[in-house]
Amino acid sequence: MKKITLLIVILLSFNNSYSQFWKKKKTNKIETTTPTEKKKDDKIKEYISVITKEAKTSNGLFKVHKVIDKYYFEIPNNLLNKDMLLVSKFAKVPEGLGGGYVNAGTEMNTQMIIWDRFEDKLLIKVKSANSIANDSLPINISVKANNNEATLYAFDIAAFSKDSTNIVIDVTKFFSTDIKAISGLSPGIREAYKVKNLDESRSFINYIKAFPLNIEILQDFTYNAAKPSVLENTETISIHMSQSMILLPEIPMKPRLFDSRVGWFTLNKYDYNSEELKSDRKTYIRRWRLEPKDPEAYARGELVEPIKPIVYYIDPATPEKLRSYIKKGVEEWQKPFEAAGFKNAIIAKDPPTKEEDPDFSPEDIRYSVIRYVASATRNAIGPSISDPRTGEIIESDIIWYHNHLRSYRNRYLLETGAANPSARTLHTNEKELGEMMQMVIAHEVGHALGFPHNMSASCAYNVEDYRKPAFTKLNGISASIMDYARYNYIAQPGDKDVRFIRQMGPYDTYAVNWGYRLISNSKTPEDEIPTLDKWILEKEGNPIYEFGKQSSNFDPYSQTEDIGNDAVKASTYALKNLKIVAKNLPEWTSEETNNYEDLEELYGELLSVWSRYIGHVVTYIGGVNELEKKPNQSGAVYNIISKEKQEDAVKWLIENAFSNQNWLVDTAILNKITPDGYNQKLLNYQRRHLNNLISIERLGRLLDAEFVDTKNYKALELLSDVRKGIWKNNNSNNDLDITERNIQKLHLDRLISLYEDDKSNHSYNVALSDVKSLLYGELLALKADLNKTKNLTRNLETKYHFLECINRIEKSIENK
């Protein structure tokens, strides 16, 4: 019995244990889920455990906390899905990065972003503003669906503020790793310097600061690179990147629609609100937001100060002696803005002291700065950053490279030295250099205000007017500071008191008024069109107010670096001056310094100046003048240059470009600066212009002109006139000198090259045109001429030259 009882107890005990085992197992199953969920929830911690007492907090657009070595953003819910700009700029760069055109202050990327919450993450998304539609329209659903934002980064939510109105995220990793969209190192830079990776052990966040409308971040990044731009043995590229996050205006600026008859930088939109059978492409101009302090006084036509003027700060690195000229260059635009009704609309200021503004930094997007860059680059640029929704310019940093004034000194000597005694030195008067800098700054400020180059402005004045003191002092040398018109190279020796340096022009005032004057009683950009159109039509037919695109390669009245409305006449005067300068160049350089460095530099630039004058004339051949018009204006938009003008240009080029120019090959200069290459230096320029003159595109335009009217200058006439001009001395017994033979070789080489060219990458369809036939005919005509003259009494060099030319023609024709 005892045994049975014991057995029952054991069995009961086993049963109980067994059931408890399964109960525990079942319970464990439940518990294995619960801790996991709890752990997931624990990712979002209590605010005080994330933003601890050690936190150093910066208040602004939103709070920025630094807790030991981590950075946190505390972003209010009411800033989610608000449009912001994320602007990435270089703050420090190594020497030579990007070939000298990348420097401290260079903007590398601008992106419109939004903060968007998804579950327990906060996303930073890059948003496009290219396509638009009213929120109230059904098509807005499709616009959003077909323009989905790219997620740049996903942050885990670290905590919520105590009242749950703010989201806290850890941004340390985002700003301390190699995020390519904000790194500053473009694919081209990475490839050029063989960048391997970011070395995180040598990379840091210098600071993150909050301001009322922006957050500023400074990163110190070091990359491993096999071929850095400098200090190659280090295999290292170290840069400082500035990231600016700025809240865009809650109420966007009313945009202004672009009109191609006035020059502006622009942004394009596809408007799906249109009732047309397609999306309506809209183009807005880029401009600053200027609003009058006293709207009623402004409406009465009084000059009124803007609520927020355009302010440029001088870079603290700028030499003291140059600051006044930079300020004057900025404030050259005050008068044009007065035409638009604004007083003191644009101001230049010295950089604030530490006491005045301890947070001032040229990298801060709140400040527009004239950056002074210690670089051997000879240039200046005027970029700007704008609201991609409306074109409102938010900020701009104008870049002045230290060596740029040397370029202006050199060109001052070369282009005006014949008629301008004060230019005949390497030690140009400081006041004159200052005025040159002032006008360059004014030009770059013009870009930063929204204006592109207006290359037709310098053709608004008659050539002879450049020799008149009263005219040049009143009007300068171009109708706009936005043209590339540097100096008055037309004025001749003996022309007294003429102006040589450029200045602001009437087009600048006209363009500012057109773009910046507020138009009353207009609620939409479309409402403004009748007034804007009226302002343009009031100036119709006056070349002073015409706009010419820089991109034109066919319009002789819209060229870079030219002045005057007749390039043949202007270049004739220019070459007269340049011959005087060439003769005196040693006296004005090496004899002044007792070394040949400047002589060598200026001789090289003298050839470039000659080349520019030649190029201005080449553009007449096959030239078409473009006059921007709307259908309510009479006359053609594209006007073919007259036959007489083109014929004169070809004759001029034969004489001044494609014949002996020994005055440019002066042994008194060359035997001081080079052991060889005397003839080749000039010949390379002649080749360039001859190839440009006889090009597929130019021949194509001439054939088009013949198609329109057979009285126009023809492609065959061009080819024949050039051949007869370059080979004109063949029919005499005179020996050809080396220059004549070389130019003839250039011409033959060009004809053969084009004749044998079977590529299809030309804008003009060669296969379905007369181009090949004309070239074939010219080669045959040249061969016939050479066969007639090869046996005339000549030296051996000339005879061999003719025989070799005949052989080349025969081989070319046979091969085809």
* C-alpha distances in Å from residue 415, one per residue of 495, 496, 600: 15, 16, 17
Pairing of the two strands 121-127 and 150-160: antiparallel
The whole-angstrom separation of Cα 425 and Cα 420 is 11
Residue 41 has a pLDDT of 52
Q: How far apart are the first and last CA of the chain?
A: 123
Amino acid occupying residue 722: V
pLDDT at 140 over 80: no
Nearest to 380 by CA among 507, 484, 506: 484
Amino acid occupying residue 330: V
* Calculated CA dihedral for residues 468, 473, 475, 478, nearest 10 degrees: 80
Average pLDDT over residues 125-140: 70
- How many angstroms from the chain centroid is the CA of residue 164? 46
Residue 5 has a pLDDT of 43
Burial of 159 by CB count in 10 Å (0-12 exposed, 13-18 middle, 19+ buried)? buried
Burial of 395 by CB count in 10 Å (0-12 exposed, 13-18 middle, 19+ buried)? buried
pLDDT at 390 over 60: yes
Task: Classify each residue of 769-795 as buried b or exposed e, where b means 16 or more C-beta atoms within 10 Å of its C-beta.
Answer: bbbbebbeebbeebbebbeebbeeebe
CB contact at 8 A, 264 and 515: yes
For 46-77, the pLDDT digits (tens) are 999 999 999 999 999 999 999 999 999 999 99
Task: Classify each residue of 516-550 as buried b or exposed e, where b means 16 or more C-beta atoms within 10 Å of its C-beta.
Answer: bbbeeebeebeebeeebeebbeebeeebbbbbbbb
pLDDT at 398 over 80: yes
Average pLDDT over residues 443-470: 97
Residue 274 has a pLDDT of 64
Query: What's phi and psi for 542, nearest 5 deg?
Result: -95, 115
Nearest to 697 by CA among 551, 550, 553, 548: 553
pLDDT at 418 over 80: yes
The whole-angstrom separation of Cα 401 and Cα 378 is 6
Please state the length of the chain: 816
The whole-angstrom separation of Cα 13 and Cα 425 is 115
For 260-310, the pLDDT digits (tens) are 999 999 999 877 666 665 567 889 999 999 999 999 999 999 999 999 999
Residue 696 has a pLDDT of 93
Pairing of the two strands 368-373 and 310-314: parallel
CB contact at 8 A, 516 and 342: yes
Structure tokens at 227: 């071929």
pLDDT at 8 over 90: no
Residue 197 has a pLDDT of 93
Name the pLDDT band for 28 (thresholds 50, 70, 90).
very low
Average pLDDT over residues 396-404: 87
Name the pLDDT band for 26 (thresholds 50, 70, 90).
very low
Q: What is the 3-state secondary structure (H, E, C) of 391-454?
A: CEEEECEEEEECCHHHHHHHHHHHHHCCCCHHHCCCCCCHHHHHHHHHHHHHHHHHHHHCCCCC
Residue 35 has a pLDDT of 39
CB contact at 8 A, 321 and 284: no
Name the pLDDT band for 10 (thresholds 50, 70, 90).
very low
pLDDT at 12 over 70: no
pLDDT at 238 over 70: yes
> Residue 662's beta-bridge partner residues?
none
Average pLDDT over residues 377-389: 87
Q: Which of residues 77 and 132 earns the better pLDDT score? A: 77
The whole-angstrom separation of Cα 90 and Cα 100 is 13
Quote the longest CA-to-CA distance of the chain. 151
Least confident of 356-360, 633-637, 711-715: 356-360
Average pLDDT over residues 554-577: 97
pLDDT at 776 over 50: yes
Q: Which of residues 481 and 229 earns the better pLDDT score? A: 481
Residue 332 has a pLDDT of 97
Burial of 197 by CB count in 10 Å (0-12 exposed, 13-18 middle, 19+ buried)? exposed
Average pLDDT over residues 722-730: 93
Least confident of 104-118, 204-218, 784-798: 784-798
Name the pLDDT band for 564 (thresholds 50, 70, 90).
very high
Q: The dihedral of CA 462, 465, 467, 473: what is its sign?
A: negative
Name the pLDDT band for 139 (thresholds 50, 70, 90).
low
For 78-98, the pLDDT digits (tens) are 999 999 999 999 989 998 888
Percent of the chain clearing pLDDT 90 (strictly above): 75
Give the predicted TM-score (pTM) of the model: 0.89
Name the pLDDT band for 427 (thresholds 50, 70, 90).
very high
Percent of the chain clearing pLDDT 70 (strictly above): 92
Average pLDDT over residues 480-496: 96
Mean pLDDT (the chain) is 90
Nearest to 604 by CA among 534, 652, 674: 674
Least confident of 535-539, 543-547, 590-594: 590-594
Residue 525 has a pLDDT of 95
pLDDT at 715 over 90: yes
Structure tokens at 342: 């604004």
Which DSSP symbol is given to 88? E
pLDDT at 7 over 50: no
Q: Which of residues 29 and 535 earns the better pLDDT score? A: 535
The whole-angstrom separation of Cα 723 and Cα 154 is 68
Residue 690 has a pLDDT of 98
pLDDT at 183 over 80: yes
> Residue 373's beta-bridge partner residues?
401
Residue 442 has a pLDDT of 96
pLDDT at 136 over 80: no
Name the pLDDT band for 658 (thresholds 50, 70, 90).
very high
pLDDT at 524 over 80: yes
pLDDT at 177 over 50: yes
Average pLDDT over residues 215-224: 95
The secondary element (H helix, E strand) that includes residue 197 is: strand 195-198
